[in-house]
Structure 1
Amino acid sequence: QFFSFSINTVICFDDLERKSDKLSLKDIMGFIENISLNSTVFILLNEDAIKEAEYYKDFINYKEKIIDYEYELTDVSDQMCNSVLSYSSLKKEYKNEMIRVFQLHKQSNYRILIKIERLVQGILNELKDLNISIVSLCSSVIIEEHSENVTINENIYKENDIKVSIFILREKIKAYLKTNELNFEDFNSVLNPTSHENSEDNKLNKQLIDYIDKMEYVFLKDDEYLKEIYSNIVGFIENHSNISFDVKLIMDLCMLTKSYGTQYESILNVDLEKVDERFINLIEFSISEMNILYFAIGLCSELQKKVQNFATKYLIS
């Protein structure tokens, strides 16, 4: 009964590369050849995924014998991407940005596009609004996490002129994908950045901001660039150990330096413990210099100690 199809019947065999090991390719292709006598058959597969398989040579032989026409999908169209996201209630500008990043990195798995949409929607559920920069960042994180051998194009960040702690926010989004827990104040601080009024009047704090910007992009550069920037930062904190900095800026730079130092220890060839110690001392000194502010607003010194202890624990963790 199964073989009594009319000539107008169309049958699709999808994801042939995922066939069970219990089914031989010979039996599958023989079955397809039989039913194709009375119907039209489509075979859909990712041929690259079976090139290392033992049965690949057999597949090539059978393909030449029983397949009349062969089509290769090489481009992902805007139309198809929009169709995949048609269910979403996100703004059109958000969808367009997700599609742009998706296509920029030559992605063809539409499930990744759906994962991007879910992440953006999940964050948007907690916030009133998102800017395009955050949509770009979310898209790049999903692609990095779910695609093999993908290096995120630096233009994603440059084109949108992201003026945030990219590295820190990027790592927090990655953690969110695993734990489903995220401090959404991190995003609010990005959407409504503080002006760092004191920093604008302070050349040294401006230097910190410049180092933070450079370190956020350092994973896109080569080893020599990393060593140069890292050396400059270490030299900077050594030469300014008695300067009171903007505490948030110095802590952000410390997190970046500590993270890259651990990741690229063999390349940098530095004593990471000493670097951490200098940063902690610098942060503690910057906090201690805020005593006059605490007294001015009527706060007791106990609060200052709690802030100092928190900063130290935060860095160690």
Structure 2
Amino acid sequence: MEPSNNTQISRFLLLGLAKEAELQPLIFGLFLSMYLITVFGNLLIILAVSSDSHLHTPMYFFLSNLSFVDICFTSTAIPKMLWNIQTQCKGITYEGCITQVYFYILFADLDDILLSVMAYDRYVAICHPLHYTVIMSPHLCGLLVLISWVLIALHSLLHSLMVLRLSFCPEIQMPHFFCELSQLVQLASSDNFLNNIVMYFAAVLMGVGPFAGILCSYSKIVSCICKITSAQGRHKTFSTCVSHLSVVFLFYFTALGVFLSSAATHNSHSSTIASVMYTVVTPMLNPFIYSLRNRDIKEGLKRLYWMPSIRPIMLVLWIA
């Protein structure tokens, strides 16, 4: 088939997780359940933080932003996947695919940056407790989130514009359940060398940079905790970081699993299966990690449940 200019592309075909028709209802039910749990769980965190004055602190401000990003992150891929299974149509338009690439990169990288910002917040809280409220002022917190959104939006726009320069065949099959950037670039019929260079450079920059910031913050936190003479004091101080550390390890290990699976096996199906952990499972587990390990969130959820204006919403969420 002769390659054509990208303006003539009609659609991409997303092959999904399995070709067997009998597995589609099972996949639909499983992913719908995980998606609803992700949305409702993260929404509860946002409602608890926004409605409880006790949680109006930098730590929970960043947590509510992380929950919002997780909802958006999962929503970039799963609803379209569920729609395709329900309608038995695997197609996605060229414009829809580019849009999905843009928002997937946007929210994935925002997750990464917010985890780094939250690590810095824990560093200031533990290592400079007397100056915490001055350093982590509402102005700085808002500025950090705003800068993160602007920088990542531009970074995501760069990748999307780079894809627009590529040419594709009129109808191509993508062995994935969403438009994943690296696979999209490899399926191009035109020269993708520059795209690969930009993509891998950005992956190293956005992956190693924030992770190095997290390691730096926690190395100073551990050093500070070791100076505490009381064992109970050390345990209490470190317990404030357990939830965040759990989310960091879950996020980076699943992302690393996707990368290693793709690089080691060169099997697109293996990479697709591995990306489920990164795209669906991690955002679903984050609310449970924070609510189960965090007493303040537990109390906030209890107070949220007994609020007259919120309780009907809570009941609907629990029933759903």
TM range (shorter): under 0.3
Larger radius of gyration: 1
TM-score normalised according to structure 1 size: 0.25
Q: Which has the higher contact order (CA 8 A, sep 6+)?
A: 2
